[in-house]
Structures are given as structure tokens and as C-alpha cells.
Structure 1
Amino acid sequence: MVATLLRLRFRVLGNQLARSPWQLVGFLFGVLYGLGVLAAAVIGLFFLGSAPQQVAASVIVGVGSLVTIGWVVGPLVAFGVDTTLDPEHLVVFPMSLRRMMVALTLAGVCGIPGIVTSVAALATLVTWVHWPAAAATAIVAIPVAVLTAVIASRTMASLASGTGGNRRLREASGILVFIPLILAGPIIAGIATGFALNLDTLGVVVRVLGWTPVGAAWSVPADAAAGDWVAALAKLVIALATLGLLWMLWGWSLRSALARPRQQSAAKVRPGRIGWFGRVPATPAGAVFARSLTYWIRDPRYLRQLIGVPLVPVLLWFYLRNGDVAAGLAFSAPLIALVVGIILYSDISYDGTAFASELATGAPGRADRSGRILAAAVIAVPLVVIAAVLPFAFSGQWAQFPGILGMSLGILLTSYGVCAVTSAQLVIPVAGSGDNPFKRVPGTTFLQGMSFLLIWLIAIGLSSPSIVIGLIAFFTGNAALSLIGGAIGVVLGVVFVIIGIRVGGRMLDRTGPLLLSRLKAMKNA
């Protein structure tokens, strides 16, 4: 059964890549990138064998620990989890939970990240072969290290996506898990700055990591090479116990999810209460605005993208706390504008096949563009204004405020204008409503990252006049220049929004049916 599921996984992957040429291109770029990383790792490990044993141990344990952490954090905040074999789809197969978990684990190992990690871990034998005891123990420790990384990733994703049952509880858990993950970097950085950055300090950190679940398996061969068999045995026990606990926790999460299928919650509404649809003009743009605003308020996929907004000043404070904090926090508003302004590039993708209802009404593309932008602005503009006001309210340096506010609003509005055009041309695979929020389709990560970066660069380039003038005014303290930069930012932002609505609206009138066909293909993938 496990072999059958693995064959099914690769067949589904092949069908997905054959159906989408651009997805195939993204997959090939991912393969090339993985091969490049793997080649660099193997070459580095080969030369590492000629280094002293302590240096080799520090490098392998330190990098191995980071790889394990990356497997846990990376899929949640950046890359997503390959759900080609989704547990909720596999529940109809006549198989035990243990076999399902084995199949999912092997599927994770057989993906590009899993293959790169596995081969790189095996390549550590090239280093450890100079110490026979280390090479012998590595044969046992390497599989444990790789399995720990893969199973930890699956466990965290399963817990973060909720454990079945009530939808609201599942959505809340999926949103709240991002907060400690986003703050993990500054917390680690804050702890690290408490030490002097030198080789001795790094050695201490690596030795501590060797006794933790993320580094214990990687550290077993290092202790064997040093002849410390007691430490090697103790760390092997820690590694095996970690693997066992992760397996049990993952099994509990899956068992809970499969025993209590996802429920669709629905609130009772009194007759005549139609929410925002009853509060806006009865026009196509008003209807799109009402629907989009409802998504922004109630859809956890939108709310999840707003979690980073209040954390932007926290991150700035962490990284600038030893410098001019007030000046640094003043740039919270432009950064928040960059974060929330780009979200609209995938707005139709989040609609899914529900986009068909809009096309069926014959709503013009310009109404769609203006309604979506207005709904997003209702949420984003107050956030940007508050982020711009608060730092100056504490510092009292109001002379630079117009430049920062105008720059922020200009970036936000310009981003909306760019997204109004680009979102009329492309849709991307995203998690559907109620799906695993960390769902990822193989071959799409690279393309999504490139499209996101390209749209961001275009928006920044178009906003550059206000950004340059605003920065000059801020650092020179020129109040008049700050007013000029702020005015330029707002004017350019409004101009680009109007252009984006008109150009994007005309494009959507032509591309609407094509976008819907792509959305249906993604849903059936």
C-alpha cells in the first residue's frame, strides 16, 4: 500500500507538471537550485575532512541543527508543505494510520528538499570517514537526523493547520502559530548579541545544540570521533526519544483530524440581514467591495497575511534597539505599506471558482478592480496612518511626518495599482477555504517567489520619487522637502491607482474566462 501511494504521488506530480508548462519551469528551477546546493555541500564536506576534528564537528552539528530548524520553520512561513498526499484524501484508503504516516514520511523524503537533505546528510560520511568510529555511528545517526527533520516538519504543519473539529478553532490555531515563528528570529538574535561573536562562543553554542533535539542526532558521530562514547550514547537516546515523541504527536494530530472531520461553521442570520451587501450602493463595484471586505474581515487566509503588520515595529525595535530607535520606528509605515500593498496580487486566486459568480453577472472589470482596492484600502490605510503617526507622537519630530506619511500612502496606492494590472493576468495556487493553510503545489514556489519579487520591484520603482525625496527630507530634517515628498507620494499613488484600475479592468474583461479556467484546473489538481 505504501508503494502504491508513492507511485500515486509521483503520477499526480507528473500530471500537474504536464498540465502547466510554467509549473514545470518552476519545478526544473527548483531541481537546479537543489543540485547547486547539494554540489556545494558535498564539495565543502570533502574539504572539511582535512580540518581538525573539533572544527569538522562544529560545522556539521551547527549546520545540521540549522537544517532541522529550517525544515520546521521554512514550510510554515515561506515554502509550504507538499500536500499531494493529503491525509484527508487518504482516509478512504483501506490502510492503517501507521502506514499512512510511513507513506507521508517517504513522500517528504522523496521531494526535492528531502532528497537534497538526505544526500547531503549521507555526504557527511565523506568527512567522518577520517575517523572510523564516527563513520560507524553516522550510519545509524544520519537516518535518524533526516527522519527527525521530515517528521518534525509534518508534525508542526499538522498542528498548525488544526486538528479537525470546529473550523474557527482550526483557523485560530493556524493564524496564531505564525506569531512565535515570526518572532523566533529576533529572539534568537537578541540572545546571540548577549555573547561575543567569536569562534569560542560559536563552539559553546554548537555544543549546547548538540544536546538539544535539533542537534543531538548530528552530534553523535562527533562525540564518537572524540572518543566520548558516553556522550554519544546519551545523544543517540535523545535523538531517538525526539523522533519517537514527534511520531506520537503527529499520529495524535492526524488521528484527531481524521476522526473528527473538518466542520463547516455557519452562523444564524436574521432575515433581511445581508451584512455589508446591505450597506453599500447596489452597483457592481459596491457588490465586489462588500464581498471583498467580508473576506478581509472573516477569511483567515487574509487575516494571516496581516499578522506581520503589528510585528513590523517589534522587529525594527529588536534590530535597532542599540541605535536610534525613534528614527528606525518611523519607517514602520513604509514597510507595512509594502507588506499589505502587495497582497492583492493573489486576490482572485483566493476567490477560487467562486469567481465564476462574478463573471456570470457580467460585472465590468473596472468595477472588480475598484471594489477590491477599496475594500483592501479600508483595512490598510488606517493601519498605515497609525503606524506613521505613533513614532512621531512619541518623538515629537513632526517636521518629518508629512514625508513619511506621503511615502507610505504612495507605496500602498502604487502597489494597489500594480496589483490591479498583474492580478488580471495571473492566478497562483493557494490554499482553498478550509484547506490546510500550508498547502503547496510542487513547482510553484519558485514562480510565486519570482512573481512576488517582480511586482514588489515594480511598485518600489514607481514609488521611487517619493521614497528618495522622503528619505532626503527625513535625514536632513528639511520640513519643506518633507511636505513636497509627501505630496508627490500621494499624487503619484492616486495616479497609479487610477491607471491600474482602468488598464487592469480592460485586461480583466478579456482574461476573466481564462483566469476562471485556470482556477478550475488548480482546484482539480
Structure 2
Amino acid sequence: MALALTYSTSNTLVRMRLAAFRHALRDQFRRSWIVTGGLVGLALAGGTIWVAAAGKDDVLVVVLGVWMLGWVIGPLFAGGGDETLKPEYFTMLPLSPRTLSTGLVVAALAGVAPVISLIALVSLVVASGGVVAGLVAVPALLLQLFCFVLASRLAVAVYGVLLQVRAGAVIAALVNAFILAFTAQGWALIAAFVSTDVQGTIARAARIAPSGWGFDAVQAAGRGDWLQVVGLLLALVVLAVVMLFAWSALLVRRTTAARAGGKPRRLLTAKTPQGAAAAKEIRSWSRDLLYGHKAVFSIAYGLFFCLMPLAIGMRSMLPWAGPAAVVMAGSMCANLYGADGTAYWTTLMTPGSSRADVRARQRGFLLVFGPATLLITLLLTSWSGVTSAWPLVMSVLPALLGGAAGLVVACSVYAAVPTTDAHKRSGNPLNSGENEGETMGVVYVMFVLVATTCAPALIVALYLGWWGVPLGVLSGVLAWWYFGRVAARRLDRRGPELLTLLRHGRSPAEQAKKTAGFDALPKWRRALAGICLGFGAIPLFPQAVVPAIIKLTGSHSTKSWFLALYQDGPWQWVVIVLMAAVGLSMYAYGGLTYYYAKKRAPGVQIAAAAG
């Protein structure tokens, strides 16, 4: 009876998952990302199979470990992974936790990522080298795939639990920041590992990890060691069962844990609207765990990003940890009003509160990130011993702080993205609603905008040294004042529309109007715009910004994968400028394509004609 119920539940959830996937394919934006991700995944899966066919066993087992690591950490950067079927939807059904968790895991297998991983795991069959070992590879790869999916779900569940506790939110932010910084600066750690000849150690560790058990079982079958084959396959089964039980327990906690109300530790005692708004904003940063998570993540990212090159003795990046943290903070906080959700009505219903609220948010941002990034900059610049970096970083930092504090509120008002209200968050705090793709798009755009606010101060500092500092302070103050003024005026004029957007989201008609112009473009142009926006950061930052920093700070001993540093003399700057131009052009093309497509939308044209 229990097996029949589990089968019926799994079958129903799979059909629901496929129906939701078909619905997602109707959205041009989501379809383009799914197709792009699928093609990239197929290329990586093909590379995995090629490694197996080439007989590079040590490399193959490491690659399989990377696949499992991707399943574990990937959802942490994608808003908690694909939770089309949230456990909260099924709390009123008479299903046991084991039945529900099993059904959700089976439903999770009905997607693009599991299919691509299954293709990559076919490398076990390719590497078997015989009929008998190939037969053993079939159950091994299926068990391995099941463990991949379970490990992903369990990691998200554990991460969600951490985010609900203050200390856990800090730990989660540190882990998240390290992983993201590793994707950009991991080359330094890899270079350090290669130079110390630890490839064999990495391969042995990958065999010991669960991702290598299936491969070891296939090799044991080729040797005729059937005791080891049975033991490894049973180990995969036991691991899957343990992870399933652990995830089931966390699902019970997620769907039944009571949200107890807390007693205010100290009442607001402000006597002016500005003081009350500022106190409210500061308490949001200190008490809302997601706010705190963003703050710790941004600062930790700046530190990890600039500390990782120390693995190869490169200190020229150390002075830039503070500015990097500010840029990341501005990107992460680009949707403050969207994060507030319907709580914005308290501001809207208070006459004349827009300016005080906007300035309070700017003040809170500066108080949270200003002292921390200044201290980091002073300490690490002193430690680096790169004296030429002092006027540069001291000019850039105030410009970035002011620019970020201004752009954060302006972007939050003009490009607010509806998210789940704080009191309606699910047991997975990583998932903030159905607009994760739009939120990430705003983050990427803000990353570039915040970084460009320091351009005038940096140019002056390069040619006139310490004269860049007063210009950086002046430009930061002007950006803080101007963008804050623009945001406050926008709230005064369009506050009710903003509240409607945050409360109800965009209607289907508005969504169709928003994408009508883009859908009318040729497919090749839509795909090219998506590629430009997705990969424009590669030539702009790793191949232009980072080599420029290395040259400006006088560190020429490290070349790594920076193309410009392999050139001679003035050609280095030529390559840096060309790479920056390529990156900016890619962003410009993608952004202008979306902008003009929106202008061509039927609703916009009708409104213009009526005006």
C-alpha cells in the first residue's frame, strides 16, 4: 500500500513538474536561458565523455567530483535551486514525509540538468572497457545521479536552516562568498596546487568522495573484484537512503516549524521622521537575517577575491578588497524596496516620508559598509607594501561608496522587482519568489554601474596622484545627493504604482507587453543579446580591469590567464583597452537590444501615439 501511494505521488508530481516546464518554455526570456544552459551543459558532458574515452582515469574521477560539487553549490547561486514544486504546497495532503520527499526527488529528475548529468555519467560506461564492467556501470551511474540530486536538495535544505539562525547566516555567507570568489580568482589556488604537484592527491581524494564510488565500482568489475563492486554499490544505496531520510526530516521542520514572535529588545525612541526612518533601517540590517547575510557576503567576497592571489605570492590585489566589497554590496542591495514588499505601505501612507525614507536607506548603507571597507582598505594596503596604490584606492573608495549609496535607492525605485514578503518567506529563504532571473539581471547591471562611478576619480589619481581623493569625495557626495533626490521624487509621484507592483506583481498582460517587442526580434538577435549580457563580464573584468590593476600597482610577476600581460610594452595597455571595449560593447548591445525592443512593444507605441 505504501509503495503504491509513493508511486502514485511520484507520478503525479512528475506530471506537474513537466507541465510547469512546458509553461516555462512559453516565456522567451526563460527559454533562452534554458537553451543556453542546456547547450553549455551538453558541451561539458561531451568533454567528460571525451576524457573517459581517452583513458584519463585520474582526470575523469576529478571531473565527476566537479559535477557533484556543481550540484551542491549551483543552487546556492540560483535562488535555492528550482523549487517549482515547493513542499509547502502539499502540507495539507495526507502524505508522510518519506512519501512526499521521495516524490519530490523523483520529480526533480524530470528536468534539463538531470538529463545532462545523466549524459555526462555515461562516461562510466565508456570508461568500463568491457561488457561486464559496462553492465555494472548502468546501475552505478543511475545511483550516482540519484545521489547528485539528493545532495543538491540536502545542501539547499541545510543552507536554509543556517539562514534562519544569525550565526548560521554568517557561516552561509562566508561559504557563499568563498565559492563565488573562487569562480573568479580560483586560478591562483589552482596554480599553487599545480606548482606543488598535488594532482595525485586530488585524484585520490576524488576517488574517496562519493562522486568516485561509481567509477571505482566499474573499475573493480573490470578486475573481477565482485566483493568491492557490491560494497561500493551498496554504499551508494545507503548514502542515498541516509540523504533521503535527512532531507525528509528537514522538510518536516520546514513545513511545521512555528514562527514564534519576538519581543522588541528596545523600542524606537526617535522624535523626528528622519530619526525614526534611520532607526528602522539600521535595525533591518542588524535583525533581518537576509540583510545581514548580504552584508557579510559582500565584505567577505571582497576579502576572498583579493586574498586568493596570495597563494602565488601576489599582493597587488590586496588594496582593492574594500572597493570590491563596495561594488558587490551595491549589486546585492539593488532591490531594497522589492525586498520590503507590501511593508512599503507604511511609508506610502505617511505624508512627506519619501525623502526621509530614501535618505535613511542611504545612511544605513553607508554606516554598514563605509567603516568596514575603509578599515579593510587601510589594513590591506599597508600590508601589501604597494605604496603606489594609496592614492588610487583612497580616491576610488569614497567615489564608490557615494555612488553605490545613490544608485542603490534609485535602482530600487525605478527597477523594483517583486519578491516574497518577509512574513511569507518559505522554509527556503534562498527562494525569494518567481522573479529570480529578473533580480539577477538587475544585480549584473548594478555591478557595472557601481564600478563606473569611480572612473573620474581613478583617472585623476592616475595622472595627478592624491588630487584624486578630493574628486572622489566630491563625486561620491554628488552621486549620493543626486540619485537620492531622484529616487525620493519618483516615490512621491509613483508611490501607489510601486506598492501595486510589490503587492500583486505584474499581470499577464503587463508581462506580455513587456516582452512583446523582444519576442518580435529575430531569434538570432535575441540569442546574441542574451550571450552578450551573460558573458560580457569575461572580457571586461578578468581581461581588462584585473590586468589594469596589476599594472597600476606595479606587480608584473604574475601573468596567469591575463592576455594583456603576455604582451610587450605599450601593447599591454592596448589589449586592456580593447578587452574593456569588447566587454562594454557586449553589455551595450544586449542592454540596447532590450531597451529598443521594449520601446517597440505595442502597448508603448499606442501610449506614445495617444500622447
Q: TM-score range by the shorter chain?
A: 0.7 to 0.9
Aligned to 2:296: 307
- Shift of residue 254 of structure 1? 2.5
1:265 and 1:432 map into 2 onto residues whose CA distance is 16
1:484 and 1:156 map into 2 onto residues whose CA distance is 50
- Shift of residue 150 of structure 1? 1.2
- Shift of residue 429 of structure 1? 5.2
Aligned to 1:502: 485
The answer for unaligned runs of 5 or more in structure 2 is: 1-8, 509-611
**Which 10-residue stretch deviates more, 99-108 or 461-470?**
461-470
Greater relative contact order, per chain length (Cα 8 Å cut-off, separation 6+): 1
Amino acid at match of 1:179: L
1:30 and 1:11 map into 2 onto residues whose CA distance is 18
TM-score when normalising by structure 1:
0.81
Aligned to 1:44: 47
Aligned to 1:466: 457
- Shift of residue 218 of structure 1? 4.3
Secondary structure of the residue that 1:330 maps to in structure 2?
A: helix
- Shift of residue 126 of structure 1? 6.8
1:116 and 1:440 map into 2 onto residues whose CA distance is 26
CA contact (8 A) 1:292 1:375 kept: yes
- Shift of residue 454 of structure 1? 1.5
TM-score when normalising by structure 2:
0.71
CA contact (8 A) 1:80 1:438 kept: yes
- Shift of residue 2 of structure 1? 3.1
Number of aligned positions between the proteins:
493
- For 1:220-269, what per-residue CA distance to the aligned partner results, in whole angstroms no more than 9, with x for missing partners? 3344356555554443233223222212222232334445x232331156
Against the structure 1 CA distance between its residues 430 and 231, is the aligned structure 2 distance closer, same or farther, given a 3 Å change threshold? farther
- For 1:409-437, what per-residue CA distance to the aligned partner results, in whole angstroms no more than 9, with x for missing partners? 21121122223322212233545425322
Trace 1:90-169 onto structure 2 (pairs within 5 A): 90-121=90-121, 123-124=122-123, 127-128=126-127, 131-162=130-161
Trace 1:9-408 onto structure 2 (pairs within 5 A): 9=17, 24-41=27-44, 43-44=46-47, 47-48=50-51, 50-51=53-54, 53=55, 55=56, 57-121=57-121, 123-124=122-123, 127-128=126-127, 131-162=130-161, 170-183=165-178, 195-196=193-194, 201-202=198-199, 204-225=201-222, 229=226, 231-259=228-256, 261-268=257-264, 274-275=267-268, 278-279=269-270, 281-282=272-273, 285-308=274-297, 309-310=299-300, 312-313=302-303, 316-325=306-315, 327-363=316-352, 365-392=354-381, 400-408=389-397
- Percent identity of the aligned residues? 22
1:61 and 1:429 map into 2 onto residues whose CA distance is 43
Secondary structure of the residue that 2:359 maps to in structure 1?
A: helix
1:399 and 1:197 map into 2 onto residues whose CA distance is 30
- Shift of residue 281 of structure 1? 2.2
1:391 and 1:50 map into 2 onto residues whose CA distance is 47
1:220 and 1:228 map into 2 onto residues whose CA distance is 9
Against the structure 1 CA distance between its residues 197 and 447, is the aligned structure 2 distance closer, same or farther, given a 3 Å change threshold? farther
2:302 and 2:207 map into 1 onto residues whose CA distance is 33
The answer for unaligned runs of 5 or more in structure 1 is: 19-23, 474-480
- Shift of residue 97 of structure 1? 1.0
- Shift of residue 295 of structure 1? 0.8
**Which 10-residue stretch deviates more, 426-435 or 205-214?**
426-435
Aligned to 1:490: 473
**Which 10-residue stretch deviates more, 419-428 or 227-236?**
227-236
Against the structure 1 CA distance between its residues 354 and 248, is the aligned structure 2 distance closer, same or farther, given a 3 Å change threshold? same
- Shift of residue 66 of structure 1? 0.8
CA contact (8 A) 1:109 1:118 kept: no
Against the structure 1 CA distance between its residues 394 and 67, is the aligned structure 2 distance closer, same or farther, given a 3 Å change threshold? closer
CA contact (8 A) 2:322 2:377 kept: yes
Secondary structure of the residue that 1:177 maps to in structure 2?
A: helix
**Which 10-residue stretch deviates more, 92-101 or 112-121?**
112-121
**Which 10-residue stretch deviates more, 38-47 or 248-257?**
38-47
1:214 and 1:188 map into 2 onto residues whose CA distance is 21
- Shift of residue 468 of structure 1? 4.0
Against the structure 1 CA distance between its residues 232 and 379, is the aligned structure 2 distance closer, same or farther, given a 3 Å change threshold? same
Against the structure 1 CA distance between its residues 119 and 280, is the aligned structure 2 distance closer, same or farther, given a 3 Å change threshold? farther
CA contact (8 A) 1:426 1:515 kept: no
- For 1:314-373, what per-residue CA distance to the aligned partner results, in whole angstroms no more than 9, with x for missing partners? 553342254253x43222211121122333311012101111222222446444432211
